[in-house]
Chain A
Amino acid sequence: MSGVGNRTSNWWTVWGVVILAWAMFPLLWMVSLAFKSPATLRSSAGSFFPSDWTWENFRTVFSDELFTSALRNSFGISILATLISVVIAMFAAYAIARLDFPGKKLLLSMALAIAMFPQAALVGPLFNMWRGLGIYDTWIGLIIPYLTFALPLSIWTMSAFFRQIPWEMEQAAQVDGATPWQAFRRVIIPLAAPGVFTTAILTFFFCWNEFLLAASLTSTNRARTVPAALSFFTGASQFESPVTAVMAASVVVTIPVVILVLVFQRKIVAGLTSGSVKG
């Protein structure tokens, strides 16, 4: 490699380290707070790292049913909503990107309207409807609005991906006599997989993050998810600052995020760097 190439490559590495620090520094702060003692938090304020590390905060949150049930609910609800949403959105995005059919404009307008609609405005009516249907404070009661509100982003993101796929390949298959469905299944799905995986990640994180509806459509440990539970968490007792316990809970719910990111990351890199789209 030439000297110039090496220097350029080193610069990219430097910028990479900057990004790494940017992403990780707040996490370091979270971990540091989680290991501080709640009793000495105030006196040690201003120092970044704990003077003495303690597991006390983790014992506090794991002995709290509010938190442990919220973990369970968050996982179940987010995974189910993501799976359903991505499958539904994939079909719609393909139809939008490729097919000529009546109602396309209506579907796009509908998706746009829902992507834009302030969820705060839906909280009151949904509360009444869900109570009437008996699904208030249940998994399904959150899964339904989650997959709905994830749909527009999934449809838009995937149709943007689908538009950049070399469609001549599909047309070639159709000229060879394949039906649109066969062309979709045999040619497009392998090409579209990277876009679908990226969309699945975005959708999962939307569900995993959602706070407003979770706080409004649940009332007990039956369906309350982590974000809502965290906002209710007050610490071991009213005499102690909840800061360290909230951060311990945050560390716990960030560990699954990191694990999932590692798993999905390989799929994304494989998909985006496979060069499958460059015909």
Chain B
Amino acid sequence: MSATTSEPAPPAPVDGDPAPAPPRASQRRRHERTLGLRLSAPAFFVMVLVTAYPIGYAVVLSLYQYRLTDPEGRRFIGLSNYATVLTDPIWWSAVLTTAIITLASVAIELVLGFGFAWVMFRILRGRSIIRTAILVPYGIITVVSAFIWRYAFQLDSGFVNQWFGLDGFNWFGERWSSLVVITLSEIWKTTPFISLLLLAGLVQVSDEMLEAARVDGANGWQRLWKVVIPNMKAAIMVAVLFRTLDAWRIFDNPFIMTSGANGTETLSILTYRQNVTLVNLGAGSAVSVLLFASVVLIAVIFVKGFRTDLSQVRGDS
């Protein structure tokens, strides 16, 4: 499995007649079904074990008034928690904050990440240095990245104000400027994720096709849009979908930088605060379920919009 050799494997041993008869074909089909079930069983089992109960538990709890500090007061209140949350400006402020961070970071990262992937793909000298360097922000702990950027902008330790002549401006004193720093840290940290996935797609685009397009007189821009991007759609789809979902649940960066102060509370921080800090499990679970629903909505838009179906595999290309 750890083989890095790339020569094609020798043909598998022949175990009988070369032209399978119909009965053998159906036997093979049965074998395939069994193998498919066996191969996916461990993943399925683990995912059900760790999430089915907590998910169900959160849905049930969201229908109760329930604080851990007041267990006796637990009672069924139907959908009231949802009404409370959805009429609370704190919820909508968190939605707006999260949406701003998500849109800004994913849009910038996609462009930047494609550029990085393209440079890593094309560069002749120092290619491995670049590829190594770009992996470091990705590998760095998000909490560390958050501290680095926070200390760069913070009044008592930072250099940014000095360098840009912003004497004594408190970046974490206002909503917009806090969001700028949070988004900067997010972009620095996660662009390598996108660029690595895009690079993986990029190397799969065949040189022959690019050469054919070049011979046909397509310029660089046309080759990019007509040949490269259509041929790496799967990689782009996976990268953008996961980065969007990831950004929508952003927690570490704003938690370390502002703890949600000055209107920078994201949906995950709100959920964490309700469940863990305030142990208001009823309303907290409603927030969790709503957060989950918002994420489902985003995913549906993506899958319908991009028309990508991971399960549609055999014979589709």
Contacts and interface: CB of A to CB of B under 8 A. Distances in A.
Given A12-B124, A95-B40, A148 B144 contact: no
Interface in A190-244: 190-191, 193, 195-196, 198, 201-202, 205, 208-209, 211-212, 216, 226-227, 230-231, 241, 243
Given A91-B40, A95-B36, A23 B53 contact: no
Nearest to B195: A19
Contact of A230 (B29, B54, B133, B147): B147
A241 B148 CA distance: 15
Contact of A118 (B5, B145, B291): B291
Interface in A109-133: 110-126, 129
A193 B143 contact: no
Nearest to A13: B125
A26 B149 contact: yes
B21 interface: no
Interface stretch (B10-18, B73-81, B172-180, B222-230): B10-18
A182 B11 CA distance: 10
A88 B8 CA distance: 25
Interface residues of A, number: 134
Contacts of B158: 45-46
Interface residues of B, number: 131
Given A89-B43, A276-B6, A19 B55 contact: no
Contact of B311 (A105, A174, A202, A257): A105
Nearest to A111: B47
Interface in B268-287: 268-269, 271-272, 275-276, 279, 281, 284-285, 287
B35 A99 contact: yes
B10 to A, nearest CB: 7
A275 B59 CA distance: 49
B215 interface: no
Contacts of B34: 101
A121 B289 contact: yes
B136 A261 contact: yes
A187 B8 CA distance: 7
A194 to B, nearest CB: 8
A258 to B, nearest CB: 6
A24 B132 CA distance: 11
A27 interface: yes
Interface string B34-58: 1111111011101111110111011
B9 A190 contact: yes
Given A96-B40, A122-B51, A211-B251, A205 B147 contact: no
B130 to A, nearest CB: 5
Contact of A241 (B156, B200, B276): B156
4 smallest CB-CB distances across A and B, nearest first, come from A101-B36, A121-B288, A178-B12, A276-B6
Given A226-B141, A257-B139, 6 more contacts: A101-B36, A145-B50, A182-B12, A250-B147, A254-B140, A273-B203
